[in-house]
Structure 1
């Protein structure tokens, strides 16, 4: 009896130990470890592309900077290597319409005579010009100039001349030869149609007025520099429009 009781108790103890082992949280620990490992792996997978992206960006920026540094010195040579028909600095093209306003000096409006002890004075010439393009490097224009000149001479007599000059001109722009966007260098040839009106306060001319019409060749060389896309200052030298030198401004429409 006693031995049977001891055997039963022993079997019960073995059963309890076996039941307790079944309820141990060992599998949960393994799952947690796996999850942690998965999370760590996931984090690493996210971080890796970011690092790669940053590296790529730095590499791209460095490459772009190197390319820019390489391109700048070769811009002018690249301009001249481009075929003449397709190159253009941008200072003039088929869309460039110009209105210019200039003041000329010296005033070459003159009288075919001699005034002894005469005081000379004058205004102008003031010139307004419109030019429109016909090619990438060429245009045609029309200038209208006005000037006056007056002589006060011995005896209190005066002679006054008022002149109007109309000049059709053909322009060539050096935009295919000079690689500077803001600088427009040009030359022009044409004719100057000059109408002069003389008024006299002189008894020898019976206080009468006379007029004179002449057609003279005209030619000039000039340059304008653009301070903005539409506004530029200009200077010219050449015969025509009652002056030799002219300075003024231009507006690109």
Structure 2
């Protein structure tokens, strides 16, 4: 009988002990580590593809006396940029671009005592390449994911016209000229290697650009 009572007591104590054991607190999930790299890194290479807006070549298109200007048509300028970080806040960049449009106009002439307009169009192709130096404000403007910069450089333009109005006629013409490039811009990194790109300033091909950048870094 005592054995039965002892076993019953031990069983009851075991149940009670089991009921009083507190449940271990839930282990909190660790927050994901943000592995985003700094906005600008020395020795990194940044490739950018962008589209330009407000084209200075088109807005400056003009015709001499004896012609009447019409509208211009064509696609927006396209830019390719490649930058290399030479220090913690400086980079050097190579820029190439293509700008193609039609400069439309009327040629005015008189025949049989009447004035006439003859529709003409000058197909213009501008291939440009140049170098720029950029200063990055990462230490002055330490905003995460944001790379703010300014750049100064030049572009060499190879400009071809199919029917440029001159005198009382039109000519095919290829000429080269140099334009300065002064830009202020920003990149916003959506990932360590990918960013949205925008810049604003003067290089005659466009007043501002929008695009996408991809960054390559040493392991």
Same fold (TM over 0.5): yes
Secondary structure of 2:68's counterpart equals coil
Higher strand share: 2
Contact 2:181 2:203 in 1 (8 A): yes
Which of 123, 133, 158 aligns to 2:121? It is 158
Contact 1:192 1:241 in 2 (8 A): no
> What whole-Å deviation, never above 9, does each CA across 1:23-80 have from its counterpart, x for those lacking one?
xxxxxxxxxxxxxxxxxxxxxxxxxxxxxxx9xxxxxxxxxxxxxxxxxxxxxxxxxx
Structure number with the bigger relative contact order (C-alpha 8 A, sep ≥ 6) is 2
RMSD (CA atoms)? 2.3
**Residue matched to 2:41:** 93
The normalised TM-score by structure 1 is: 0.60
Runs of 5+ consecutive residues of structure 1 not aligned to the other structure: 1-53, 55-88
**Residue matched to 2:80:** 128
Secondary structure of 1:116's counterpart equals strand
Q: How many residues end up aligned between the 2 structures?
A: 166
Contact 2:188 2:195 in 1 (8 A): yes
Secondary structure of 1:179's counterpart equals coil
**Residue matched to 2:150:** 187
> Separation in 2 of the partners of 1:145 and 1:205?
30
Runs of 5+ consecutive residues of structure 2 not aligned to the other structure: 1-23, 25-36, 107-117
**Residue matched to 2:28:** none
> Separation in 2 of the partners of 1:173 and 1:202?
44
Which of 189, 193, 198 aligns to 1:226? It is 189
Contact 1:125 1:147 in 2 (8 A): yes
The normalised TM-score by structure 2 is: 0.69
Structure 1 residue 201: Cα displacement: 8.0
Secondary structure of 1:109's counterpart equals helix
Pair member with larger Rg: 1
**Residue matched to 2:68:** 116
Distance of aligned partners of 1:241 and 1:97 in 2 relative to their CA distance in 1, 3 Å threshold: farther
Contact 2:164 2:172 in 1 (8 A): no
Runs in 1 of length 4+ with deviation above 3 angstroms? 201-206
Higher helix share: 1
**Residue matched to 1:59:** none
